[in-house]
Amino acid sequence: MLSRIAEAVFWIGRYLERADDTARILDVHLHLLIEDPYLPEPLACAGLLDVMGVPVVDGTEVDRRQVLDALAWDMTSPSSITGSLGAARENARRVREIISSELWECLNTAWIGLPAARRRATAPHQVLRWVRERAALVAGIADASMSRDDAWRFLVLGRSLERADMTARLVASSAITGGAGAWTTLLRSCGAYESYVRTYRGVASDARAAEFLLLDRLFPRSVLYALGSAEECLDELTPAPDRAGVKDRGRRVLGRARSGLEFREIEEILADLPAQMDRVQRACSEASDAVSWRYFPQAVTTPWTEEAS
Tens of pLDDT, residue by residue over 101-131, are 999 999 999 999 999 999 998 889 999 999 9
- The radius of gyration of the chain's CA atoms, rounded to the nearest angstrom, is 20
Domain assignment present for residue 187? The answer is: yes
The candidate with the shortest Cα–Cα distance to 146, out of 102, 106, 111, is 102
| pLDDT tens string 55-81 | 877 667 888 888 999 999 999 888 899
SS3 string, 125-193, reads HHHHHHHHHHHHHHHHHHHHHCCCCHHHHHHHHHHHHHHHHHHHHHHHHHHHHCCCCHHHHHHHHCCCH
Domain assignment present for residue 303? The answer is: no
Domain assignment present for residue 302? The answer is: no
Domain assignment present for residue 308? The answer is: no
188: confidence class by pLDDT, cuts 50, 70, 90: confident
- Residues 8 and 75: their CA atoms lie apart, in Å, by 19
- Residues 3 and 1: their CA atoms lie apart, in Å, by 6
Residue type at position 210: A
Burial class for 266, CB neighbours closer than 10 Å (0-12, 13-18, 19+): middle
Choice among 127-131, 199-203, 207-211, 281-285 with the minimum mean pLDDT: 199-203
- Residues 224 and 210: their CA atoms lie apart, in Å, by 12
When the pLDDT of each residue in the chain is averaged and rounded to a whole number, the result is 86
- Residues 103 and 112: their CA atoms lie apart, in Å, by 14
- Residues 100 and 98: their CA atoms lie apart, in Å, by 7
pLDDT of residue 181: 56
pLDDT of residue 304: 47
Q: Is the pLDDT of residue 308 over 60?
A: no
CB contact at 8 A, 71 and 52: yes
pLDDT of residue 299: 47
Choice among 19-23, 150-154, 166-170 with the minimum mean pLDDT: 166-170
Instruction: Provide the phi-psi class of 277: left if phi over 0, else alpha when psi is between -120 and 50, else beta.
Output: alpha
Higher-scoring residue by pLDDT: 58, 85: 85
Please list, in sequence order, all residues whose beta carbon lies within 8 angstroms of the beta carbon of residue 152, skipping any fewer than 6 positions away: 146
Choice among 161-165, 214-218, 300-304 with the minimum mean pLDDT: 300-304
Domain assignment present for residue 304? The answer is: no
Higher-scoring residue by pLDDT: 178, 209: 209
Q: Is the pLDDT of residue 281 over 50?
A: yes
- Residues 175 and 145: their CA atoms lie apart, in Å, by 38
Neighbouring CB atoms inside 10 A of 211's CB total 21
Domain assignment present for residue 307? The answer is: no
Please list, in sequence order, all residues whose beta carbon lies within 8 angstroms of the beta carbon of residue 78, skipping any fewer than 6 positions away: 15, 18, 84, 87
Number of residues in the chain: 309
pLDDT of residue 301: 42
Q: What pTM, to 2 d.p., does this model score?
A: 0.88
Higher-scoring residue by pLDDT: 15, 243: 15
Higher-scoring residue by pLDDT: 188, 180: 188
> Domain residues for 250?
3-295
Sign of CA dihedral 243, 245, 248, 254: positive
How many domains does the chain contain in total? 1
| pLDDT tens string 7-61 | 999 999 999 999 999 998 888 888 878 777 777 888 888 878 887 888 877 667 8
pLDDT of residue 187: 85
Choice among 95-99, 137-141, 295-299 with the minimum mean pLDDT: 295-299
- Residues 152 and 159: their CA atoms lie apart, in Å, by 10
Region 136-142: mean pLDDT is 94
Region 221-231: mean pLDDT is 95
Domain assignment present for residue 130? The answer is: yes
Domain assignment present for residue 214? The answer is: yes
pLDDT of residue 300: 42
pLDDT of residue 309: 45
